[in-house]
Amino acid sequence: MTQGLMKAAAVQMVATPQPDENMAAARRLIGQAAQQGAHLVLLPEYWPIMGLKEADKVAHAERTGDGPIQAFMSGIAREHGIWLIGGTLPMAAAEPNKVLNTLMVYNSAGERVIRYDKIHLFNFTRGDESYDEARTIVPGSSVTTFEAPFGKVGLSVCYDLRFPELYRAMGDCALIVVPAAFTYTTGEAHWELLLRARAVENQCYVLAAAQGGQHVNGRRTWGHSMLIDPWGEIKSELPEGEGVVIGDIDLEHLQRVRDSLPALKHRKM
């Protein structure tokens, strides 16, 4: 990692109902990111399973430190010597027939650093489209950040993006991550707008890893994984299909933005 620079990558997938297929795809794409010099890699929401039915993920729920999905993430982080932010996986919840939609972070030694349970649960109905994550997911409650080698990273997932107060509660971050599975309808309308707003108002980098295509279950996701800088400029983007977006987290550029427009110091609330 060059002084002041850290290369970050977001993996875009079109996940299937089969975890083995998804892990094979993730292995290939994480490998591509590592070959391009990524120090940190972000997977999308629901990367291990996009079931035929909402409830399918319950059967794959894991407990902390135990299960094939966690073993995969730990192993591949260690194999490539990268920090891996593992999108989300289903974790066991206290409520029957429900899970927590959980983001796990692993360091370059494959050690689990922290977890974040998605707080805001998506609910949307328009015409034939209808989603209600609360039917199968228990919400988390804790704002979560961690210290990476280059600075503080704030953790969020998909629908969280619509709640700016969550990001303010994270404090001074160098990077905010947003693994997601935005629908095509809501993504086309609001995805880029919301991501760039979060980058500008928090004067930090935003890395978003999305599902991006037509899934076996009939759902179509928006894609457009991207890296955005603290001035709101998109540095790298992938519209659709599986692949990798990659770019530099430049701490000197971040500081120049904050020095030239010290908005964070001007806050009154």
Does residue 27 form part of some domain?
A: yes
Does residue 60 form part of some domain?
A: yes
pLDDT in tens, 217-265: 999 999 999 999 999 999 999 999 999 999 999 999 999 999 999 999 9
Does residue 132 form part of some domain?
A: yes
Does residue 269 form part of some domain?
A: no
DSSP string, 210-225: EB-SB-TTS-BB---E
* Polymer length in residues for the chain: 269
pLDDT band (50, 70, 90) for residue 128? confident
What's residue 38's pLDDT?
98
Residue 1 clears pLDDT 80, i.e. is over it: no
Mean pLDDT of 63-82: 98
Tally of domains within the chain = 1
Does residue 266 form part of some domain?
A: no
Catalytic residues: 45, 118, 158
Q: Decide if 89 contacts 137 (C-beta within 8 A).
A: no
Does residue 101 form part of some domain?
A: yes
Q: Decide if 84 contacts 106 (C-beta within 8 A).
A: yes
CATH number at residue 209: 3.60.110.10
Range of the domain at 13: 5-261
Does residue 267 form part of some domain?
A: no
What's residue 48's pLDDT?
98
Residue 106 clears pLDDT 80, i.e. is over it: yes
Does residue 268 form part of some domain?
A: no
Name the one residue in this structure whose structure tokens are 């890395």: 207
What's residue 174's pLDDT?
98
pTM for the full predicted model:
0.97
